[in-house]
Structure 1
Amino acid sequence: MMTYRERMLATLEGRPTDCIPFVPRLDLWYRANKYKGTLPDKYKNATLMQIVEDLDIGVHTVSADRSLYDDSLDIVDRALGIWRVHHKPHRPALKNIRRNITYQGDTTIVEYLTPHGNIRTKTVYDESMRKAGISLSHVSEHAIKSVDDFEAVGYIFENMDVYADYEGMERQKEEIGDRALLVGTANMGASAMHYIIHELMPYDLFFCEYYDNYDELVRLAERITPYFNKVVDIAANSPADIIQSGTNYDASITWPPFFEKHIMPNMIETADKLHAKGKFMLNHTDGENKGLLQYYVQGKLDIADSICPAPMTSQTLREIREAFDGKITIWGGIPSVSVLENSMSDYEFESYLDDLFLQMGKGDHLILSIADTAPPEMKFSRLERIARLAKEFGPVNS
């Protein structure tokens, strides 16, 4: 019998496997239910790894636990898209910039003092987020409020050192053993322009600035690009098997012409760097992907993580697999609503699964997971059911 590491690697390379690997993301589900004391009775005192081993499923390593930091200062720059946690391969450090940090209950306010003006951000991490298992704070005030902030934000990123930090990843690799491939996160944006829309500005403001101050926005992206590239280079030399570089696309936000112009060229450049180091490139593609799938293929993407088909988006799993044509591995495929009793009855769940497994065809280039993540209210028996069906699917590509 293959180990999960062997099974996942063979899936990515299009080689035979003994079954479809089921590698669901359970960190939010576990944290939420552990915090509330609502884990299944059998697992009341179990670690997440013990649950995974008992279920005989793979370990999901795409989303690092953002609570694994050494000092509160490691997460104060979260509104700049920077948090320094154990499982990230890089560690950014500000230079030539002073910070004023204020805490007001669950809110953290950071003011960055630069020669070109001050930038203020606010992040919130409250009780509702803790109960939901969320480990990443919410940005309630973004760094950029108008074009007037571009110069100061550009200065901040031009004065950012980036250091390799592989110790936490080495420990994680030992912890997961043969139950997973190790994923390291580079940038949440797939390009500097995508980084701006994803991390530094509210969506509505970005759209306005894109049309009103396009040249200035392009210049800001150019100033952020050296930082972006440093992060990719460090990740490429890390112990990870897979590097995540780009998250949260959606046809209405990263619309197709924008994606083709401002994201895809950088995807290709990043993919070439990672492939030269023997690593796979993963993007977190959890939104409405209609009109974008062709660019994932052209962008040399290896893994489309958190692919979420109908009924949560407009495309079926079959349509997405046909568009990828064996060139991209789907990590996901099961919409989170299907494991919620208030969304599907047991009968509807079974019927949906029957149809979904037919859409998988021969099952190649598929790592099953609940997209985006197993929700805290998941009916646990449905997770167990999916795990059994994945094993019963039988050999793939044999």
Structure 2
Amino acid sequence: MMTYRERMLATLQGRPTDCIPFVPRLDLWYKANKYKGTLPDKYRNATLIQILDDLDVGYHSVTADRDLFDDSTDIVDRALGIWRCRTKPHHPKFRNIKRNISYQGDATIVEYLTPYGNIRTKVIYDESMRKAGITLSHVSEHAIKSVNDYEAVAYIFENAEVHPNYEGIARLKEEVGDRALVVGTASMGASAMHHILHELLPYDLFFCEYHDHYDELVRLAERMTPYINKVIDVAINSPADIIQSGTNYDVQLTWPPFVKKHIVPSLAETAMKCRAAGKFLLSHTDGENKGLLPHFLAGQIDIADSVCPAPMTSLTLKEIRTVFDGKITIWGGIPSVSVLENSMTDYEFDAFLDDLFVQIGAGDHLILSIADTAPPGMKFSRLERIAKLAKEFGPVNQ
């Protein structure tokens, strides 16, 4: 019998496996139910790894554990798209920049003092988020309010050093063992422009700035690119098996011409670096991907993570697999609503799974998971049902 590490590696390489690997993301489900005391009775005192071993499913390591940090200041730069946790392969530090950090209840306010003006951010992490298992705080005040902030933001990123942080990810790799391939998170934005869109402005303001101050925005991205490249290079040199670059795509936010112009070249360059280092490139392709699939192919990514098909988006799993044609491995494929009783009855869930496993076809280049993550209110027996069917699917590519 193959280990999950062997299954995942063989799946990525298009080699035979003894079954379809089921590697669901359960960290948020676990944290939320552990916090509320609502884990299934037999797992009341279990660790997440003990639950995975009992279920005989793989360990999902795509998102770095943001609860594991060494100092409270490690997470204060979250509104810049920068946080430092033990399982991230890089540890950025600022030079020539003073920060004023203050706290108001559940809010963290940071003011960055630069020669070109001050930048203020505010993030919220409250009790409702803890109960939901959420580990990433909400940005309520973004760094960029207008074009007048571009120079100061560029200065901040030009003065950000990127240091290796390999101990945590090496320790994670040892802890996980044969349960998975380990993912090292590089940048949430696959390119500097993607990072600006994803982290530094509210989406509505970004669209206005893209129209009204395009040249200035492009210049800002150019000045941030060395930082993004350093983050990616440091991640690639880490012990991680897979490198994550880019997250949260949606055709309404990352529209096809934008992806082609501002993201695909960076993805393709990162893919080339990953292959030279013997690693795989993963991008977190959640959201509505209609019109974006050819661009993921052009970006030469190895893994499309968190693929969420119908009924949550317009594309079926079969349609996505047809376009990828074995060139990209899907990690996901099961929409989170399917495991919620208030979204699907047991009868509807069984019918959905029957159809899903027809759409899977030969089962190659597929790591099953619940996209984006198993929700806290998941009916646990449905997770067990998916795990059973994945094993019963039988050999792939044999």
TM bucket (normalised to shorter chain) is: over 0.9
Matched position secondary structure for 2:253: coil
Partner of 2:326: 326
CA distance in 2, matches of 1:244, 1:205: 27
Q: For 1:51 and 1:325, locate their aligned partners in 2 and report how far apart those are by CA, in whole Å.
A: 34
**3-state SS in 2 of match to 1:261:** helix
- Deviations for 1:194-253, whole angstroms, at most 9, x for unmatched residues? 000001010000000000000000000001000000011101110000000000000000
Task: Please list, as runs of the form range in 1=range in 2, the aligned pairs for 1:151-300 lying within 5 A after superposition.
Answer: 151-300=151-300
- Structure 1 residue 22, shift from structure 2 partner: 0.1
State the distance in 1 between where 2:65 and 2:8 align.
21
Q: Which runs of 5+ in 2 are unaligned?
A: none
Question: 3-state SS of the aligned residue for 1:246?
Answer: strand
The residue number in structure 2 matching 1:370 is: 370
Q: Secondary structure at the match of 2:245?
A: strand
Per-residue deviation at 1:30? 0.2
State the Cα distance separating 1:370 from its structure 2 match.
0.2
Q: Deviations over 1:268-311 (max 9, x none)?
A: 01111111100000000011000000010111010000000000
Q: Provide TM-score, normalisation by structure 2.
A: 1.00
Amino acid at match of 1:91: H
For 1:38, the equivalent position in structure 2 comes to: 38
Moved over 4 A (4+): none
How far off its partner does 1:13 sit?
0.2
For 2:136 and 2:260, locate their aligned partners in 1 and report how far apart those are by CA, in whole Å: 29
User: What one-letter code is carried by the residue in structure 2 that aligns with 1:55?
Assistant: L
Match status 1:131 vs 2:127: no
| Cα distance in structure 2, aligned partners of 1:272 and 1:8 | 21
Aligned to 2:382: 382
AA partner of residue 210 (structure 2): Y
Alignment of 1:347 with 2:347, yes or no, is yes
CA distance in structure 2 between the partners assigned to 1:167 and 1:105 by the alignment: 33
Equivalent residues in 2 for 1:43-54 (5 A)?
Answer: 43-54=43-54
What CA distance in whole angstroms lies between the structure 2 residues aligned with 1:168 and 1:160? 21
CA distance in 1, matches of 2:304, 2:257: 20
How far did 1:347 drift?
A: 0.3
- Shift, 1:64, TM fit: 1.5
The whole-number CA distance in structure 1 between the counterparts of 2:75 and 2:299 is: 31
Partner of 2:85: 85
Distance in 2, Cα, partners of 1:229 & 1:315: 32
Instruction: State the AA in 2 paired with 1:36.
Output: K
Structure 1 vs Structure 2: percent identity of aligned residues?
Answer: 78
Q: For 2:87 and 2:70, locate their aligned partners in 1 and report how far apart those are by CA, in whole Å.
A: 12
**Alpha-carbon deviation of 1:143?**
0.2
Q: Secondary structure at 2:296's aligned position in 1?
A: helix
2:371 partner letter: A
SS of corresponding position for 1:311: coil
Q: Root-mean-square deviation (CA), in Å?
A: 0.4
Letter matched to residue 301 of structure 1: I
Taking the aligned partners of 1:212 and 1:198, their CA distance within structure 2 comes to: 19
Q: CA deviation at 1:65?
A: 1.4
Aligned to 1:61: 61
Secondary structure of the 1:226 match is helix
Q: Please give the per-residue CA displacement for 1:12-70, whole angstroms capped at 9, x wherever unaligned.
A: 00000000000000000000000000000000000000000000000000012101001
Gapped regions of structure 1 (runs ≥ 5) = none
